[in-house]
Structure formats: C-alpha cells, structure tokens
Amino acid sequence: MIKGWVKIILFLTILLVTIYFLINSELFYTLRAGELDHLYNTVSDQLPLLLLVTFIVILIQNTLTIFPLILILTKNIAFFGFFYGVIWSWIFSVVAAAIVFVSIRYCFKDFLEKKVSVNIKEKAEKNGFMYVLFARVVPVAPTSIINMVSGVSSIKFKDFILATSIGNLIYFSVLSLVPLGIINGTFDQLMIFLIIAIAFVVSFIYMKYKKKKKSNALRFTQFL
C-alpha cells in the first residue's frame, strides 16, 4: 500500500516538472545544454522560480551527476550569498537525495540492482550509516552512485538521511570556501584531514548511541 502511494506521488512530481518545462521551453533547452549561468540569469529576478530551478538542478545532480557540485555551489553562493547559498544547497541536496533513494527503492530497485557490484552492496549494508557518511564527506564516488547503491541495498532510510545531512553539511561548508579563495596550499590538506576527523567523531558517537540503545532494549527484554 505504501509502495503504491510512493509511486503515485513520484509519478505526479515527475509529471508536474515535465509539464512545467514544456511550458517554459527556453529553460528546458538551457538546462539540457548545461548552461547554468544563462539558466540562473533567466530566472534571477523571481526568487520562487530561482529556488525551483536550483532544486531541479540539484535533483538532476543527485540522479545523474551531470553538473559538478562545486559549480552548482558556486552559482548558488553567487545568487543567494554565502550563508543562504550553502544552506539552500544543503537543504535541497538532502531532499533530492531522499527523492532519489525512495524512487530507486520502490520503483527501480529490480532494474538497478543488477548494475551494482555485490561486493559494494555488501559493504554498504554492513554499516549503512558509516558508508553513506564517509562517501558524503570524502567524495570517492559521484553523488548519484552513492544514492543508487544506498537505494538498492538494505540501508535504512533513517540512517541514509541522517548520514547524508551530516556529511553534506560538512562537505558543503568546506567546499563553499573554494569560490571565496580561502582554501589553498597546506591549509587545503589540513581541512581535508579535519573533515575526515569530524566525520569519524560523529560516526563514533552515533554508533555508540545505537549500541547503547540496542543494549538497553535487550536488557529490557530480558527483564520481561
């Protein structure tokens, strides 16, 4: 029943986006050509439309990774300012990742599961939260691949969203400094190590919490 509702919602969302771009053909062709500068400038004087286009660009990046993340983040900072550029990018990235995750799990899992290595899938399932968090903070794979592997695996949605939220916030915060020219030389290397350290600290705290929660539940069961 839940899967049916999810499919209906996803279908309606895709239909509405398609209709919108058919009506605004100029935006459609600009987006297809990958000309983000022209695309953003076309709607820069209409904030709701600019936010919608920004979200669609990030959704595409989470689905196919056509646009480099640094390029999207740079454009968002240029149009929204540093703080709001990072915040909107972060919020939209989490929502987009959630949409892709749910779409794959409930609509395209059977088709995409064959395209994911069994070894990679097993590693992801062994510790879902850590896998997603590490992949977000240290981008060893495109965003779309992380979403696809997570969607076809048994990773819990809660762990996926929490790890994505924490990982993207850390990664975006650091990546956003690049357009400002703050990161350079040895400071760049130091920042990378700092990101990894933060990610592992957050992961350690979360895993300790889960272990304690599981232990308390077991103790309560034994008591009963």
Q: Dihedral sign for Cα 176, 179, 181, 183, please.
A: positive
Model pLDDT for residues 186-224, shown as the tens digit of each residue: 455 555 566 666 666 666 666 666 666 666 555 545 545
Q: Rg of the chain over CA atoms, in angstroms?
A: 19
Q: Token digits for 144?
A: 């779309």
Rounded CA-CA distance 136/122 in Å is 18
Average pLDDT, the chain: 75
Q: Residue 207 is part of which domain span?
A: 2-223
Q: How many domains does the chain have?
A: 1
Would you state the pLDDT for residue 1?
43
User: Cα angle at 41 between 39 and 47, to 5 degrees?
Assistant: 100
pLDDT band of 41, cuts 50, 70, 90: confident
Rounded CA-CA distance 85/36 in Å is 15
Which residue, 34, 28, 36, 49, is CA-closest to 77? Answer: 36
**pTM to 2 decimals?**
0.74
153: left (phi over 0), alpha (psi -120 to 50) or beta: beta
Average pLDDT (89-98) is 93
Rounded CA-CA distance 41/154 in Å is 41
Considering only residues 181 and 102, tell me which one the structure prediction assigns the higher pLDDT.
Answer: 102
Average pLDDT (78-96) is 90
pLDDT band of 71, cuts 50, 70, 90: confident
> If you search the block for the tokens 């895993």, which residue do you land on?
207
pLDDT band of 90, cuts 50, 70, 90: very high
CB 39 within 8 A of CB 29: no
Model pLDDT for residues 110-153, shown as the tens digit of each residue: 888 888 888 888 888 888 888 898 888 887 788 989 999 999 98
